[in-house]
Every structure is written in C-alpha cells, then in structure tokens.
Amino acid sequence: MKKIILYLILFIFVLPLFSCGQTNNDSSINGLIIDASIKNEVEKNISSLNFGEVQDKLLIYNNRMFVDYYEDNELMTSTTDKEIKQVFKSFYYWQGDTLGIDGAFGFFGGVGFSIKITENKATLYHLLASDEFPTYAYNENDNLLFRIEVPCTDTKIILSKIPDSTKNQVIYGYVEFKSEEYYSSSGSVEEHEISPRKKQRVDMKIYFKSTKLNI
C-alpha cells in the first residue's frame, strides 16, 4: 500500500519536475538568508509521521498551518492564531542549473511553496497542485492546469544551508509570502464547469524540512 502511495505522489506532484543537474554551493544568494538556527524553529512547528520507504524519497510530516485565505479580495479563513496541523510533504531537486525546493500541505496534490535558486538568485512561488482534475489557472479565462506556481510579493526565504549536490542531506527552512491572484474551479460536467471560477490569493508562512528527491 505504501508503495502505491509513493507512486501516486511521484506521478502527481514530483515527476514533471525531475531532471539531473547541480547548482553551486555559494551562500551569497540574492533573496535568501542562510541561518542554521532555523532548524530549532522548524522542529517546534512539525511532528513526525511514519511512512516507511516513502520517507526515503521525500519527507512527509505534520506541519502547522499559518495561512490567510482570500476569495475575491475578502478574507475567508485564517489559521494564523490557531494550532492547526496538516500532512505536509517536502523535497529538493536539481533541474538543469536550478536548485528547486518544494513543499505542500496535502497528501497527493496540495498547496504550499516552490523555491527556485539559480544564478545566485532565489525566487519564491505559491505552489498549487491538484490530484483529480485540472483545477487552477493563472487568469480567469486560461486553460485549467494540474499545477501552477503563482508569483509572490513580500517574500522571505531562510535555509539552514545550501545542500551539497553530491549528497543526500536534510535541510531546514522557512518561507513567507503574499501570493498574487489566481483562479480555481470546482470541477466540470460534460466539459462545462460546475460554477464560476473563484479568484483567490493567500498569505502564508511555512516552516519545513526537506530531503533530496531520490527517484
């Protein structure tokens, strides 16, 4: 059963990203703070889960949610002052010369972040991935996609270190951001969407730990 779960997660969330490569280990990267002490804060906000061999490929654990969710510019939900934890998965990988670090709440699809580090610059995106049908679009009339990476403002990225591309290491980190707007659909019947798309955005803070994606 756990092997089936692993294959589903890889197919939905991971495999479209995979490619070989490496990045340099220089800590002087624009948009990124290196601070080994972030590990202590991460450990305060996560708790372990046991998924056996799945954990050899990517880390899965319970993680506290800090999110303000907006719909049509109106605050709909906030978990910032609540002790809410959900299943979270995270990993890092190399794609050409880019180091990517992804993390998301949810078992198969999910919502979270995607970091791209390339040419000594770190860029942070709000990540959304669906597992049943194409759900998300950057603009109201765009085609729906399974996965989107939404640009963000007011971003902050902290990593415990830049991982060595030749080793399988665990890294710790923290991100915060305000996403730009995006659109989501609740599904369709006979190729007609059930209801109008919702315009959404989020403010998020996420503590995380990641291991190297090992396929």
Does some domain include residue 190? Answer: no
Look up the pTM and report it.
0.86
Does some domain include residue 32? Answer: yes
Does some domain include residue 53? Answer: yes
What pLDDT score does 16 carry? 52
Per the structure, the count of domains in the chain is 1
In the chain the first and final C-alpha atoms are separated, in Å, by 18
Q: Among 204, 54, 74, which Cα is nearest to 128's?
A: 204
What pLDDT score does 158 carry? 98
Tokens representing 97 are 């010369």
Residue 87, domain extent: 2-183+196-212
Does some domain include residue 191? Answer: no
Tokens representing 80 are 């910032």
Does some domain include residue 188? Answer: no
Does some domain include residue 104? Answer: yes
Low-confidence ranges of the chain (pLDDT < 70): 1-27, 51-57, 190-191, 215
Per-residue pLDDT reduced to its tens digit, 64-77: 999 999 999 999 99
What pLDDT score does 18 carry? 47
